Amino acid sequence: MSTSSRTIDVRLTLKITSKQGNMKFSYPEIAVSKPLPTLADNEFESVAWGIENYGEDFKKLVVNKPAVGDQDVKIEMKFCGICHSDVHFALNELAAGSGSGSMYPIVPGHELVGTVVEVGRAVSRVAVGDDVAVGCIRDSCMDCKSCDSGDENYCAKGFTHTYNSPKSPAYSHIGGNQEVQNFGGYTQFDVVHERFVCKIPDGMELSKAGPIVCAGVTMWDPLKHWGATQPGKKMDIGIVGIGGLGTMGIKLASALGHRVVAISRSARKEELARSKGAHGFVVSTDPKSVEKEAGKLDLILDTIPAHHSIMPYLTMLSSSGTVVQLGCVGPLMEYSQLVLMFRRLSIASSVIGGVPSTQEVLDFCNKHNIYSDVKIVTADRLNEVYDELQDNNSDATRYVLDIKESLKL
């Protein structure tokens, strides 16, 4: 894997600095990189797989994790999903979530699945022996309107991402050396505040649980926010982009009882979309195909993570409908205000979901037997998996790292 030249190409593509009104966005050009300090008294060591310095390959590392505090849960990891955004973070392509460049050494992973092996004395939500999952959120202020309503992902002071984030001493929920960044789920053990730990429901396949706390909740939370999880409600829902997020969206919306229309630039995706539960299919580049659903969809979840026109989706919305963008798009997007106006349409965007939503989608997926298609890999294959994800993000299959097997290597 020729990491350096590859990452530089991608960074040039993604780099933007645009002044938008009073706000300025800038993706970082230089990553933060500093050697790990020695183990502190309030820490322990955990084997992990990460990238030590910017541009290098993945390798086995030993990182320091905080000792178990009163409200902490120590998890022995069994699996960790490999999300496409792990690629962005590991290769310093995006600053999203951290506010700064990637922090090396970096241990990715925000689809943690494991078993509780120790709990702090004040922990009440889980017990030793429970199978649990942790998603993208490791910390939040726990004291704002968003946190109070279970939307920790919109914490007014900013949530702390599971990895590639500085600790938040102001929140004082994460122990250990406060100068050292957080490391993610490609690791043997992790310690997480119980608030951000979800219970894996009885019967769920652990190897397939990881993507649910990332892709699953990313689709579930907007379905919930825009009314699609209300009991008995029947909606017409469009899902744009038939990759990992899109196929999860099709499965969830379909299991909720809605009519689901898959929308793709490519007619090749129809069979896949229908096999996941889509009732209709639209080729968004074909005006005749778009016209068939014109004015019919109440909600469209758009998973495209690149600049694109949303006008075909607006055409398909019914009066008072909403298109929600779930993929990160750096460049400015365009819309016609007049098109919104004459049917009271909305353009929105959301990112993952809070802890209550994460627990809900775990329970719902378990009940309805909804899983992503996964490929289980060991840590020695991380470099090639990252190469493949960079080349092709449109596949519906999610890779999952088998921690137990990786430790045997």
Residues of the shown chain interacting with a copy of itself in the complex, contacts defined by CB under 8 A: 18, 20-23, 25, 96, 145-146, 151, 154, 156, 225, 287, 290, 295, 309-312, 314-315, 318-320, 322, 325, 328-330, 332-351
Nearer to a copy of itself, 20 or 38 (CB): 20
In angstroms, the CA 63 to CA 23 distance is 36
| CB closer to a copy of itself out of 74 and 161 | 161
Residue 341 or 409 having the CB closest to a copy of itself? 341
Query: C-alpha angle with apex 260: 221 to 295, nearest 5 degrees?
Result: 100
If the CB atoms of residues 126 and 310 are measured against a copy of itself, the closer one turns out to be 310
Rounded to whole angstroms, the Cα distance separating 168 from 178 reads: 8
- Of the two residues 15 and 145, which places its CB atom closer to a copy of itself in the complex? 145
Closest distance of CB 318 from a copy of itself, Å? 8
Least CB distance to a copy of itself at residue 251 (A): 23
Q: Return the structure tokens found at 94.
A: 């995006």
Smallest separation, CB 291 to a copy of itself (Å): 8
The distance of closest approach from Cβ of residue 114 to a copy of itself in the complex, given in angstroms and rounded to an integer, is 28
Instruction: Please give the C-alpha separations between residue 379 and each of 47, 58, 88, 164, 409, in angstroms, as whole numbers.
Output: 12, 8, 18, 19, 8
Closest to a copy of itself by CB, 357 or 366: 357
- State the minimum distance, in angstroms, from the CB of residue 350 to a copy of itself: 5
Amino acid letter, residue 225: H
With beta carbons less than 8 A apart as the criterion, state whether 50 and 91 touch: no
Alpha-carbon distance of 366 to 1, in angstroms, equals 37
CA-to-CA dists, residue 92 to 19, 31, 87, 243, angstroms: 22, 6, 8, 23
Nearer to a copy of itself, 2 or 20 (CB): 20
Contact 92, 14 (CB under 8 A): no
> What minimum distance in Å lies between the beta carbon of 56 and a copy of itself?
28
Cβ neighbours for 162, distance < 8 A, ≥ 6 positions apart: 109, 110, 112, 134, 135, 136, 137, 138, 182, 184, 185
349: Cα separation from own chain's centroid:
14
As a whole number of angstroms, the distance between CA 1 and CA 47 comes to 23
Rounded to the nearest whole angstrom, what is the least distance from the CB of residue 239 to a copy of itself in the complex?
Answer: 17
Task: Give the H or E element holding residue 119.
Answer: strand 112-119
**Least distance between a copy of itself and beta carbon 339 (Å):** 7
Rank residues 322 and 372 by Cβ distance to a copy of itself and give the closer one. Answer: 322
Q: Of 53 and 320, which has the nearer Cβ to a copy of itself?
A: 320
What's phi and psi for 296, nearest 5 deg?
-105, -20
With respect to a copy of itself, which residue has the nearer C-beta, 101 or 114? 101
Shortest separation between residue 337's beta carbon and a copy of itself, angstroms: 4
CB of 276 to a copy of itself, least distance (A): 25
Ramachandran angles phi, psi of 46, nearest 5°? -135, 135
- Shortest spacing between CB 335 and a copy of itself, in angstroms: 6
Residues 6+ apart with CB under 8 A from 118: 68, 73, 74, 128
Closest CA to 187 of 131, 130, 114, 129: 114
Which of 185, 193, 191 has the alpha carbon at shortest distance from 42?
Answer: 191
d(CA 153, CA 139): 10
Question: What DSSP designation does 93 have?
Answer: -
Which residue from 25, 109, 28, 26 is spatially nearest to 61, judged by alpha carbons?
109
Residue 202 or 334: the one with the smaller Cβ distance to a copy of itself is 334
